[in-house]
Amino acid sequence: MKSQYALSAEETMTDDFERLTNIRPVRVLTHLFDTLEGTPAPVPDASPDICGQYCRVENRHEIAPHDHQHYEIAFVIGGKAQHCTPRYESVITRGTVMVIAPGKVHGFSHIDGIGIVNCLCLTEWLLHDVHELWALEGLIPLFLAAGMFARPQNAWIPQYQLTEEELQTCLREMRDIAMEWERQDPACTYMKCSLEKLIITLGRAFARTGPHGIQNTSREWIRKALGSIEQRVIEGLFPEVSEVAKEVGMAPQYFSRTFKELTGLSPMAYFQRRRVQHASWLLLNANSSVTEVAHELGFYDAAHFSRLFKRYQGMAPRAYRKRHRSPEV
């Protein structure tokens, strides 16, 4: 394992590899590792804490630094290991939870019989229609900031301890997600409800344990500004910064400066990022053409939309749809 503060991803876990699609946008898996002495993981096969498909990993006590295209929430259900990130290294044991946003690098060393339940979630699905979550405890710094903002603090991977009651609540929701995922025709609405209950539990636990250096952007004015920009994205309207500033009772220059201090993005840069994230969701879940998606979100034409989309997603809209949309549709 590379030294602290010097981690770089040796591998990217892709949505394809994890079998995440618009039909099955969230998945739950359990991995059980041997102890350092070579004996099986202390979590038995019949443990009620195992969620979804699971596998035993033999003779492996290190996971090289890697990142993900998607969100990963990792819950420790037994054993221990060293969690390594670019900002810290820390021992993890039963009840530890880690929230890893797309592109964040982490790995594990000194794996000693650890059992981890992973909840994997397609980024576009999680970040679509998020306005109802902004006001809930802990969810902006825990889940939303890393995917929507660009402050250096958001590179930090949240890690904290759940109480046993909180852990069991999360495991119940993940069992429901896992059972639905296995159905021939899984209901995304069902999985979304379970996931939202899961992340609300995590947000409340995070608020209880403290922000640990991540600025909580829960101020009323920033939530109102984010909501105003979000509504314009949905309606395909171009926001005037002066209008949004007026809505939150600020002078335009002061609003723009303070907005960037909190999010790392100017209001217009944030608007463009959210447009692309909404476009990604539409490409996966609607039957509209690329041109129709562009018009729905207020782009001048499909060429302008494609250029901006490629800047953020690294590929053209059609290639993105082909790669991430399930053939079952």
Residue ranges and CATH numbers for the domains of the chain are 11-209 (2.60.120.810), 220-324 (1.10.10.60)
User: What is the pLDDT, as a whole number, of residue 137?
Assistant: 65
All residues at 6 or more sequence positions from 133 whose CB lies less than 8 Å from its CB, including other chains: 139, 143, 144, 196, 199
* Predicted local confidence at residue 208, as pLDDT: 83
Residues in the chain: 329
For 254, other C-beta atoms within 10 Å of its C-beta total: 10
- Angstrom CA distances, 1 to 8, 61, 62, 321, stand at 11, 10, 7, 36
CA angle 109, 13, 329 (to 5 degrees): 150
pLDDT at 210: 64
Per-residue pLDDT of the chain (329 residues; tens, 9 = 90+): 444 556 788 899 988 888 898 889 999 999 999 999 878 778 888 899 999 999 999 889 999 999 998 899 999 999 999 999 988 899 999 999 999 988 889 999 999 999 999 999 988 787 777 666 666 666 766 776 666 665 444 467 889 999 999 999 999 999 999 999 999 999 999 999 999 899 899 988 988 886 543 344 447 788 888 889 988 988 888 888 999 999 999 999 999 999 988 888 899 998 998 898 889 888 888 888 999 999 999 988 899 999 999 988 888 999 888 877 776 54
CA 242 to chain centre: 31
Answer whether 118's CB lies under 8 Å from 71's CB.
no
Q: Are 143 and 43 in contact (CB under 8 A)?
A: no
Q: Can you give the pTM of this predicted structure? A: 0.78
